[in-house]
Structure 1
Amino acid sequence: MPTLGFTGDVMLGRKVNERQQTRRPDELWGDLTERLASLDGLVCNLECCLSTRGQRWTETHRPFHFRADPEWAIPALEAVGVDGVTLANNHVLDFGAVALRDTIDALDDAGIARVGAGRDVDEALDPLAFSAGDCRVAVVGFTDNTPEYAADPDTPGTARVECDPDDADTRSMVRDALGRADALDPDLLVASLHWGPNMVAHPDERYREFGRWLVDEGVDVVHGHSAHVFQGVDVRDGAPILYDTGDFVDDYAVDETLRNDRSFSFELSVTADGDPTELRLHPVNLEYCRVETADSAVAAWCRERMRERSADFDTTFRRDDSDLLVDID
């Protein structure tokens, strides 16, 4: 039975980029390297561009600019077998179109599938696809962040929508992407979304409605990220909605209440036909510029917060050692 991993934001710029110049690529993942590499598929949000070129975006105010050297970043992604990344986020154009193109080229040359941004809006809407054992997986990617980074017919950028099922343009773009994914005849269809505000532990109702609408449109898994903290898990008609998978690698300052340095590796078991059967949440701790398995105290904190944040959805968890499990009917 294949198992797919989903992580939150993997930000490889700034101090992470500096430190990795003198570390092995796999040191980024700490003691999780073997665990992640053993998964049959792995998808993450790549919260930076992969380039050493370009100029900082100055057309609108940007407080942070993230980029990593692909010479080490690609081997780091390969070290844990990352199959696909979403580029639909608010940092992929931090160093302009040339750095986005370098990112696309570096990923393509490495055979790492990408989604959610492109040389134009048509490419940004194209799904990524890979095989996890006998299960064929397709992923579409969108963001509602940073309107100035949106692609159009002549300009590179992100697949940007309003996360509102009542918005006609959103319905049109999302259904276009879903139709392209369906044409690949996947067993499992994933929507990876960089949505909503930062440092919010519970999704607003508009995002709950949008996630449920995606499931009604045929999506089997909603993979959310952007808030920097994990949010609750919902299961609708057998489809897990991960409203936010939090952060996974970064150099960020830590909020001592919300604890953006704590999250999970979200691991979904599916049948060969793509039916989700079990979701495992493995607690992790974000050390400065790397990630590792959470110790017992951090793991307990993560489990308690996840139960609290999922209470609105009546999600039932059971315990397996340090992990939480959700049985999916």
Structure 2
Amino acid sequence: MQTFNADIAIIGAGGAGLRAAIAAAEANPQLKIALISKVYPMRSHTVAAEGGSAAVTQAHDSYDFHFNDTVSGGDWLCEQDVVDYFVEHCPTEMTQLELWGCPWSRKEDGSVNVRRFGGMKIERTWFAADKTGFHMLHTLFQTSLKYPQIQRFDEHFVLDILVDEGHARGVVAINMMEGTKVQIRANAVIMATGGAGRVYRFNTNGGIVTGDGMGIALRHGVPLRDMEFVQYHPTGLPGSGILMTEGCRGEGGILVNKDGYRYLQDYGLGPETPLGKPENKYMELGPRDKVSQAFWHEWRAGRTIKLTV
């Protein structure tokens, strides 16, 4: 078995894993970082995101507004200290991505464009055309190449964490290109393995979103928190696994039943908004869980749902 030594082993090379590797490399240039991924980084699931990412940028917006939208959108079940930290650091991170080369879409005056998204009272979703996830991931990947201390292990499937007296000391992985086992020893292990959407029969996640990282952590007694909070998106193409981005509704798309009726107004998301003039937090731009629940009830009543763009 081949053995490699590193200071930090990061499992997962999507948006979170790449950002963690860059942060570690910047914090201490002497650190040796092992970045392990079961796919080539640009095939990580971050690339599938289309809509955008939220951060306060407009003068009439504020951290408090972003905080309130996030907490209320989570039915007041969010860890509020985490949300507070998150909303305060979002603008800095988004600006950092721009400095690294992320091509955020612009308004005519040159400022960053922001769009409406569900559950927000104010437009604050940064986007890069309709390929936001691709551009974010590409930016992080290209930036990571500047740091020689980041050693990538692409197409290496992590089997287990090495544990010594209750401390993570590295990982064991399979080199899927060669079919051989690899041991990567490290003083710390960072889990950035993404979600587990593929455990559901109907989902829009890629084939790699299988929750194997969560399973490894659980087997070693790592406490997993709030794993039941899986978000259901209201607009997927039936039987295809393809998601119709929320941007469709943010740009004026409407949901109607088989009778052409905008049914969301019957589920506490009204009043009905004018066609082509979506309003934040109402109708199609309500919180995703509320829109999804209304969708489900309408479907159960035998009224097929359509998205009209």
Q: What TM-score results when the alignment is normalised by the length of structure 1?
A: 0.29
Work out which of the two has the higher radius of gyration on C-alpha atoms and give 1 or 2: 2
* Structure with higher strand content: 1
Larger relative contact order (Cα-Cα within 8 Å, sequence gap ≥ 6): 2
Q: What TM-score results when the alignment is normalised by the length of structure 2?
A: 0.31
